[in-house]
Amino acid sequence: MLKNLKDWAKKIKVEADRVAFRYLKEETTTVTTRDQRPEDNFRGISEGVMVEVHKNGHVGYAATNNLEFESLQRAAEKAARQAEVLAERAVFKSELADRPVNKGEFVSPGFDVDSLSMKAINDVLIACDHSLKVSDKIISTTSNCWITDAQSIYICSLGSEIVQKYRFFSTGFMAIAQDGTVTQKRTNYGRNHSVQGGFENLSLDILKQRAELIGEQALELVSAEVCPTETTNLVLAPDQLMLQIHESIGHPLELDRILGDERNYAGSSFVRLSDFGQLRYGSPLMNIVFDPEEMGEFACYAFDDAGKKAEREFLIKDGLLVRGLGSTESIRRSGVPGVANFRATSWNRAPIDRMANINLLPGKSTREEIFSSIENGVYMESNSSWSIDDYRNKFQFSCEYGKLIENGKLTKTVRNPGYRGVTTPFWNNLKMIGNTDTYSYYGTPFCGKGEPNQIIRVGHGSPLCLFSNIEVFGGES
């Protein structure tokens, strides 16, 4: 395909300052089993090209899944026509420098190194279903595996030539337990465990162990007390902090939200452009990085869809906000330092500012030091419910699994734990941050944003963290 695209780029006839092709092919296999039998076996292909034409200081986009030269020629003509007629109404003037010239390749761990038949995946997942069902009180078990091999090629008439190949790998489990009228659900870190990598992620022994723990914890939850409602110390596990980082740090730092692009859909941000370099976002323990270079984490890549080289950058340093999540276009529009995060969900969407891997760096405290410092508090794992306002201030999150912390020790399990707060007071209440032994990263393929709508893959790493003075609550059931 690279050769075809290069040939077509030479042949294409359109009057423009720049023409680019962004090709994407994704081949997906998903297998879901429920109660030890197949629930869904799916094989899907998506393939197409976005043609991008820069003319009169504006960019026109036209996408097609017909990979014939004539189709791309027509798409280029449409994109050029859009740029011509809409340039004078554009919210900002595009510049050729918004698409830096780069050449390079990226290959994620696991890409094209191994494969497993759909039958073999079924066998593993059915075995995991068995492991989830630790008791007759487990009324339903579900296991799933989602593998996508993706290849993107970006060719730009300014000289860029970028090939990136990925294998995205997700595994998920769910056990539903019932005791009388109480029903509880426990999953794999809140939904799925998503990484870049190969079939080592489908290791039967490891997954069965994980599935058995999920089944046991579901069982534990149906006989647990409801989480108390009080203002107290809160310790969050990395699989919940993933969501906390995503919603209350990632989204509000997206420059396109701050510039107003998202106000009709995903929302705006409480962060102002003048806050960069000024705002005390959280406690001095807090260091947040944009890190597309963390190999294996779900949103690794070497170049974004503008062709910009992707590198690790501090967003928040010692609690101070220093950099936004915006790529070349947003950096120029805002005057704020940014990152390489101009990304499209697929070949049929124009790129916008997205998160990639946004990670909270580990500190120095051991797990024991964190828990032993707490007289009274609650520990929570794995997100089950999430909601935040359109300026990313007032949030409420619930978790699947909680434990009371009493006199420095984890004691009773509690069900339906939740907490609510406001973004910057919450992060300024960060009191202790775990060391590398407590650090893990997770990912999700379901970050939604943009008009037209786009979901995209993101990753978030975090250590165990202690927050003080947090409003926690339990449920009714």
Report residue 442 as tokens: 């997770």
Residue 325 or 433: the one with the smaller Cβ distance to another protein is 325
Residue 93 binding another protein, by CB under 8 A? no
CA-nearest of 134, 208, 133 to 171 is: 208
C-alpha span between 468 and 374 (Å, rounded): 10
- Our finding on whether 295 is near another protein (CB under 8 A) is no
CB-nearer residue toward another protein: 48 or 463: 48
Contact 440, 188 (CB under 8 A): no
Cβ at position 199, least distance to another protein in Å? 17
Residue that has been written with the tokens 């960069």 in this structure: 276
Question: Which residues, 20 to 39, sit near another protein by CB under 8 A?
Answer: 37-39
Q: Which of residues 200-219 bind another protein (CB under 8 A)?
A: none
The answer to whether 200 touches 113, Cβ cutoff 8 Å, is no
DSSP designation for 227: P
How far, in Å, are 147, 237, 453, 454 from residue 391 at the CA level? Answer: 34, 25, 19, 19
Size of the site for another protein (CB under 8 A): 84
Q: Indicate the residue among 78 and 191 with the shorter CB distance to another protein.
A: 78
Nearest to another protein of 294, 304 (CB atom): 304
Task: Report the residue from 63, 255, 430, 472 that binds another protein according to the rule CB under 8 A.
Answer: 63
Site for another protein in 239-268 (CB under 8 A): 259-261, 263-265, 267-268
Burial of 367 (0-12, 13-18, 19+ CB in 10 A): middle
Distance CA 375, CA 232 (A): 10
Stretch that binds another protein, among 12-20, 76-84, 355-363, 460-468 (CB under 8 A): 76-84
The window from 87-95, 204-212, 297-305, 360-368 that contacts another protein (CB under 8 A) reads 87-95
Among 228, 455, 468, 469, interactor with another protein by CB under 8 A: 455
How near is the Cβ of 348 to another protein at its closest, in Å?
Answer: 5
Instruction: Give the alpha-carbon dihedral of 166, 290, 235, 387, to 10 degrees.
Output: -80
CA atoms of 139 and 5, how far apart (whole Å) = 52
| 454, 456, 466, 470: residue in contact with another protein (rule CB under 8 A) | 454
With 0-12 CB in 10 A as exposed, 13-18 as middle and 19+ as buried, what is 277?
exposed
Closest CA to 236 of 387, 403, 413: 403
Can you state the angle between helices 2-11 and 69-86, rounded to 10 degrees?
A: 50
- Segment near another protein (CB under 8 A), from 3-11, 14-22, 429-437, 453-461? 453-461
Q: How far is the CB of 89 from another protein (least distance, A)?
A: 5
Q: How far is the CB of 458 from another protein (least distance, A)?
A: 16
Q: Does residue 65 touch another protein according to CB under 8 A? A: yes
How far apart, in whole angstroms, are the C-alpha atoms of residue 397 and residue 377?
Answer: 17
Footprint on residues 118-147 left by another protein (CB under 8 A): 118-119, 122-123, 126, 139-140
In angstroms, rounded to a whole number, what is the distance separating the alpha carbons of residues 356 and 300?
A: 7
Q: Does 55 bind another protein (CB under 8 A)?
A: no
Residue from 14, 16, 62, 288 touching another protein (CB under 8 A): that is 62
Choice between 103 and 263, CB closer to another protein: 263
Report if residue 46 touches another protein, rule: CB under 8 A.
yes
Compare residues 69 and 409 and give the one whose CB is closer to another protein.
69
Three-state secondary structure call for residue 428: helix
408 CB-near residues (< 8 Å, 6+ apart): 371, 372, 373, 374, 375
Query: Which residues lie across from 17 on neighbouring strands?
Result: none
DSSP 303: B
Smaller CB separation from another protein, 252 or 434: 252
| Residues 357 to 396 in contact with another protein, rule: CB under 8 A | 385-391, 393-394, 396
Complex with another protein: residue 140 or 366, whichever CB lies closer:
140
H-helix or E-strand containing 244?
A: helix 238-245
Alpha helices in 360-400 (DSSP H): 367-372
CB nearer another protein, residue 247 or residue 297: 247
CB 360 within 8 A of CB 463: yes
Helix (H, G, I), strand (E, B) or coil at 351: coil
Q: Does 40 bind another protein (CB under 8 A)?
A: yes
Nearer residue to another protein within complex by CB, 8 or 371 = 8
185 counts as binding another protein under rule CB under 8 A: yes
C-beta of 8 vs 439, nearer to another protein: 8
Interaction between residue 293 and another protein (CB under 8 A): no
**Distance in Å, CB of 434 to another protein, minimum:** 27
**Of 65, 51, 46, 24, which Cα lies nearest the Cα of 151?**
24
Q: Does 350 bind another protein (CB under 8 A)?
A: yes
Site for another protein in 409-438 (CB under 8 A): 416, 418, 420-422
The answer to whether residue 78 forms part of the interface with another protein (CB under 8 A) is yes
Range in contact with another protein (rule: CB under 8 A) among 194-202, 204-212, 291-299, 346-354: 346-354
